[in-house]
């Protein structure tokens, strides 16, 4: 008998969106210009296929908790900086979950780009290779 899922991904994303700030691509660019770190949580294959955002810090979603925690052997120094963080994925789901997780772990302020990389490109945001 299959397991019953009591809270699916749609509910989790909805809950994350209720707790974290969602930015338009233009708002995100202004935050980045003011010193926020753009954290791209897309899979490496997505970066190769779709391109990268210049200056973005790449953190695969599966490593996020480990890279944020200073006690982890996988900790990455950009997450130890005292600055705002803006998360981005392909369409806005993983970035909402990532921003909520980062916020739960103590990073602040955090936000994410609604519509993700797709919205970023459509708004004319810079993309490399």
For the chain, the residue count is 129
Q: Are 95 and 41 in contact (CB under 8 A)?
A: yes
Domain around 110 = 20-122
Residue 70 phi/psi, 5-degree rounding, is: -60, -20
Tens digit of pLDDT at every position of the chain (129 positions)? 788 888 999 999 999 999 999 999 999 999 999 999 999 999 999 999 999 999 999 999 999 999 999 999 999 999 999 999 999 999 999 999 999 999 999 999 999 999 999 999 999 999 997
Flag whether 14 is in a domain.
Answer: no
Flag whether 67 is in a domain.
Answer: yes
Flag whether 15 is in a domain.
Answer: no
Q: State the residue for tokens 């209720």.
A: 18
For residues 53 and 74, what is the distance between their CA atoms, to the nearest angstrom? 23
Flag whether 5 is in a domain.
Answer: no
Flag whether 44 is in a domain.
Answer: yes
Q: pTM of the entire structure?
A: 0.95
Q: Classify 55 as helix, strand or coil.
A: coil
The CATH number of the domain holding residue 73 is 3.40.250.10
Flag whether 7 is in a domain.
Answer: no
């Amino acid at each position: 008998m299959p397991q019953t899922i009591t809270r699916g991904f749609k509910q989790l994303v909805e809950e994350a969106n209720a707790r974290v700030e969602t930015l338009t691509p233009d708002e995100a660019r202004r935050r980045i210009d003011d010193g926020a770190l753009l954290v791209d949580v897309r899979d490496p294959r997505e970066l190769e296929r779709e391109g990268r955002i210049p200056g973005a810090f790449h953190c695969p979603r599966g490593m996020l908790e480990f890279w944020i925690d200073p006690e982890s052997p996988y900790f990455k120094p950009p997450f130890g900086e005292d600055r705002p963080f803006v998360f981005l994925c392909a369409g806005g789901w993983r970035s909402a979950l990532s921003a909520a997780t980062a916020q739960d772990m103590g990073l602040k302020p955090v936000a994410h780009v609604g519509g993700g990389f797709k919205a970023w490109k459509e708004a004319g945001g810079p993309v490399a290779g």
